[in-house]
Amino acid sequence: MYFTERHEDIIKLLKERNGASVHFLAEQLHVSEPTIRRDLSFLEKEQRIKRTFGGAILNDMSTSEIPLSLRENENRLPKEIIAKKAIDHISDGKIIFIDASSTASKLIKYLPNFSNLTIITNSPKNSLKLAELKIKSFSTGGLLLENSIAYVGKGAEDFVRNFNADLFFFSCRGLSENGILSDASIEESDLRRVMMEHSRKKIFLCTSDKIGKSYMYNLCKLSDVDEVISDIPLSENLKQLHAPAKP
């Protein structure tokens, strides 16, 4: 297979699957993983794709939802740093909303350190992990988004309204320099807003790669959240924009 033909096959596979890993592409095209990585580097320079940790997506997906299978492998160390900081806000007996973001899911393995927790999540993957750890949990149900593996929609929103949570751990795709949180999914943004309305404390988990980025749908202002946990210190500008949320 000529490399130009292979490039077109890569584009086709990325379009069919909304993104793919290097391992998958190598298997499908019967070439080595280093060859695929070189192909992806070339296609990225041509501005046809965007590299992700362990794979790639099409460039025109930059305003749509990146598949969870790819997001889970991105920025593992920053997400672990954030998770370890976030558990300081948890104590026994809390009722907690956890959204379907890959960052928030990193909290789950630490939850067995606490007793009598109740978790409400719109992530079926989170629900399975919680069941394995024998932690009491509720799943919102609703319309399942294929890429993000998240329940959304009116059914999920109405379910959330049945609860009053102590904490809400969440993330989103971008935090602009003017303090606006945004995402590529309007459905997930809508559900997060309902969770915010029904939670006493809202905690935004923000990996440093999200800072300075903006997406189609605004979620809220930085001043609307109670805590921001990141793997790096926020800029003085963002600290000032967040300050109104402080008591």
The pLDDT > 90 percentage for the chain reads 66
What is the rounded average pLDDT for all residues in the chain?
89
> Where is pLDDT greater, at 202 or 70?
202
Do 3-61 and 76-245 come out as alike in CATH topology?
no
Model confidence band, residue 245 (pLDDT cutoffs 50, 70, 90): very low
- Whether the pTM exceeds 0.75: the reply is no
Can you give the pLDDT at residue 166? 98
> Where would I find the beta strands (DSSP E) of 103-186?
118-121, 137-139, 143-145, 150-152, 165-170, 174-175, 180-183
Q: Note the pLDDT of residue 181.
A: 96
Assigned CATH for 3-61: 1.10.10.10
What is 76-245's CATH number? 3.40.50.1360
Q: How confident is the model at residue 53 (pLDDT cuts 50, 70, 90)?
A: low
Q: Pick the closest to residue 194 from 168, 223, 233 (CA basis).
A: 168
Beta partners for residue 203, in sequence order: 169, 227
* Nearest alpha-carbon partner for 223 in 168, 178, 193, 170: 178
Q: Order of strands, edge to edge, in the sheet holding 55-58?
A: 20-21, 55-58, 49-52
pLDDT for 76: 80
Categorize the per-residue pLDDT at 63 as very low, low, confident or very high, splitting at 50, 70 and 90: very low
Res. 167: pLDDT tops 90: yes
pLDDT surpasses 80 at 247: no
pLDDT digits (tens, 9 = 90+) for 27-45: 999 999 999 999 999 888 8
Read off the pLDDT of residues 95-135 as tens digits, 9 standing for 90 and up. 999 999 999 999 999 999 999 999 999 999 999 999 999 99
From 145, 137, 157, 231, select the one nearest 183 (Cα to Cα): 145
**Domain segments of the chain as ranges:** 3-61, 76-245
pLDDT exceeds cutoff 70 at 70: no
The predicted structure's pLDDT at residue 72: 56
Confidence tier at 224 by pLDDT (50, 70, 90): very high
Supply the pLDDT for residue 246: 46
pLDDT digits (tens, 9 = 90+) for 178-217: 999 999 888 999 999 999 999 999 999 999 989 998 887 8
Contact 68, 147 (CB under 8 A): yes
